Structure 1
Amino acid sequence: PLPLHPLVSALPIVEELPAGLEEEIQRLKAHLRRLGAINPNAPAEYAETHERHQFLSNQCADLEAAAERVRQVVVELDELMESTFQTMFEAVATHFSELFTTLFGGGSAHLELTEPDNLLNTGVDIVARPPGKRAQRLALLSGGERALTAVALLFAILKVSPAPFCVLDEVDAMLDEANVGRFRTLLKERSQETQFIVITHTRGTVEAADTIYGVSMASDAASQVVSLDLEQV
């Protein structure tokens, strides 16, 4: 027999059960019945679940670290874009002011940022003062003035960042003869770095071309293309 007598004899003598003890015993028994039988596979299932939890926790930590690295890259790219945009904007603005005066034979113009403190979302406004007029926004200029201002901006961009070729579709349609002459001169200068494909009906602009392609309609209503290399004429 187990040596329980010393332990039992040391227990206090209970003459009356405490109030509510029977109810507590019944409650605990009911709780044990709800728990059901002991699962002998519980340790193995716990180990498997714990391993899965560790794996997912590590994956989550890796994803959070990767997300932080991406956020850092975004910050660095934003800073780089702001710096590059500021540099390019200042260069284009300088050339634009010079080319505007050249194309108009006077006057002045400049570029303005709509949100100088938010370079990633800012817009750009053009303020122009043609010769003999007051400074005003682009929308208030005449059609010919807007066209010439747009040409000045385009050539300013090409001067800062030359492109291999550029297509101009009737940009000289609203220019008078004097402005066409200045446009043609600037076009010839920029053609040293950029090949221009110009769609035009203006004779002065055609005279600046190296090669001319004419499109006409034959008697059968089919289009015919005729080319002329002016350097060989």
Structure 2
Amino acid sequence: MYQEISEEDENLSQLNQQQKEKLAEKTKSEVTKNYQENLLDQRLTYLQEEYHITFEKAQQDYEPMTKDEETRGKIQRLRQKIEQLGPVNLNAIEQYEEVSQRYEFLNKQREDLLTAKNQLFTTMDEMDEEVKTRFKDIFEKIREQFKVVFPNMFGGGRAELFLTDPNDLLNTGIEIEAQPPGKKLQNLGLLSGGERALTAIALLFSIIQVRPIPFCILDEVEAALDEANILRFANYLQTFNNDTQFIVVTHRKGTMEACNVLYGITMEESGVSKIVSVRLEDVAENGQIAVEGKGKA
């Protein structure tokens, strides 16, 4: 009986010992597990903070490295490359997007401006061609009319208009050669003062004949003319009565005689001026002015 109890007690001791060993192994396993879990968490955190990548992404994009030395060497090389890159701007992607959008906007504006520039140059070329066509047409008409008006104003002779540069109608000048009666053909600058004045008047009348205007002011344009040319000038003014009204500032009697209405300035009182108008049709043969034709402005 005693022997059986001793055997049972020994078996119980063995079981207790085995239980202690199992408990120790379990505790060791739990400690190891906790350590591994903590180590895994640390490495996952390190992976995220150092390389900005998740474990799942790393598994997907990169192959596992089995040799620690190889891994450490590669990591060292990569770190050296990162250091060589210098400071990294973490906002570079957002800034790139902003700059890219700005570039696209400015590039679109540049293309629009280039298109507008080309259209503007095309329009300018078209306008230049239109100006050339119109200028040439009007110039030829004035040129032909000048050939008619000049001898009428001078009582003979001839004159010619010509372009200094027919190949560049936008920048060409215009020269006048005139031949008053009894003289040779010569440049306008070689004529006398009266001849130059009458030639210029003839050109003005030629222009008005081609392009009539409703109103024209002449300020002593005939001052340098002799009496014979004054009469031709005054008579030629009458040919425009139906289309153009002239206001002529003059001191020449011949010009005044050809006008319809005369306006004069008088000072009956010191410092007080009055404008007096007279219609020539109201002037009698004896020089008296009809009362109804006399007025003040």
Counterpart of 1:68 in structure 2 is 118
Indicate the structure (1 or 2) with the bigger Cα radius of gyration. 2
What pairs with 1:20-59 in structure 2 (closer than 5 Å)? 29=80, 32-33=82-83, 35-59=85-109
Question: Deviation digits for residues 127-152 of structure 1, max 9, x if unmatched?
Answer: 00000100111111111111110110
Structure 2 residue 131 is matched with structure 1 residue 81: yes
* C-alpha deviation, 1:221, in angstroms: 4.4
Counterpart of 2:280 in structure 1 is 230
Q: Which amino acid aligns with 1:165?
A: F
SS at match of 1:64: helix
Q: Following the alignment from structure 1 to structure 2, what is the Cα–Cα distance between the partners of residues 180 and 40?
A: 93
Question: Deviation digits for residues 155-195 of structure 1, max 9, x if unmatched?
Answer: 01111111221111112222222212211111011122111
Counterpart of 2:152 in structure 1 is 102
* C-alpha deviation, 1:213, in angstroms: 0.2
Counterpart of 1:188 in structure 2 is 238
What pairs with 1:117-156 in structure 2 (closer than 5 Å)? 117-156=167-206
Q: Following the alignment from structure 2 to structure 1, what is the Cα–Cα distance between the partners of residues 156 and 92?
A: 90
* C-alpha deviation, 1:37, in angstroms: 4.7
Structure 2 residue 252 is matched with structure 1 residue 202: yes
Matching residue within 132, 141, 164 for 2:214: 164
Q: Which has the higher contact order (CA 8 A, sep 6+)?
A: 1
> Are residues 145 and 37 of structure 1, via their aligned partners in 2, closer, same or farther at CA, if it must alter by over 3 Å?
closer
Q: Following the alignment from structure 2 to structure 1, what is the Cα–Cα distance between the partners of residues 88 and 196?
A: 87
Q: Structure 1 residues 71-80 or 209-218, which shifts more?
A: 209-218
Q: Which amino acid aligns with 2:123?
A: V
Counterpart of 1:115 in structure 2 is 165
* C-alpha deviation, 1:41, in angstroms: 2.9
Matched residue count: 214
* C-alpha deviation, 1:79, in angstroms: 0.7
Gaps of 5+ in 2: 1-62, 71-76, 284-297
Question: Deviation digits for residues 72-107 of structure 1, max 9, x if unmatched?
Answer: 111111111111111111111111111001011110
> Are residues 4 and 171 of structure 1, via their aligned partners in 2, closer, same or farther at CA, if it must alter by over 3 Å?
closer
RMSD, matched Cα: 2.3
Q: Following the alignment from structure 2 to structure 1, what is the Cα–Cα distance between the partners of residues 225 and 266?
A: 24
Q: Following the alignment from structure 1 to structure 2, what is the Cα–Cα distance between the partners of residues 55 and 159?
A: 57
SS at match of 1:171: coil
Q: Structure 1 residues 62-71 or 204-213, which shifts more?
A: 204-213
Question: Deviation digits for residues 33-65 of structure 1, max 9, x if unmatched?
Answer: 253454443322222221111111111100000
SS at match of 2:251: coil
Q: Following the alignment from structure 2 to structure 1, what is the Cα–Cα distance between the partners of residues 180 and 88?
A: 94
> Are residues 104 and 34 of structure 1, via their aligned partners in 2, closer, same or farther at CA, if it must alter by over 3 Å?
same
Q: Following the alignment from structure 2 to structure 1, what is the Cα–Cα distance between the partners of residues 207 and 99?
A: 62
Counterpart of 1:19 in structure 2 is none
Q: Which amino acid aligns with 2:237?
A: L
* C-alpha deviation, 1:210, in angstroms: 1.2
SS at match of 1:132: coil
Counterpart of 1:92 in structure 2 is 142
Q: Which amino acid aligns with 2:156?
A: G
Q: Which amino acid aligns with 2:212?
A: P
* C-alpha deviation, 1:215, in angstroms: 1.7
SS at match of 2:146: helix
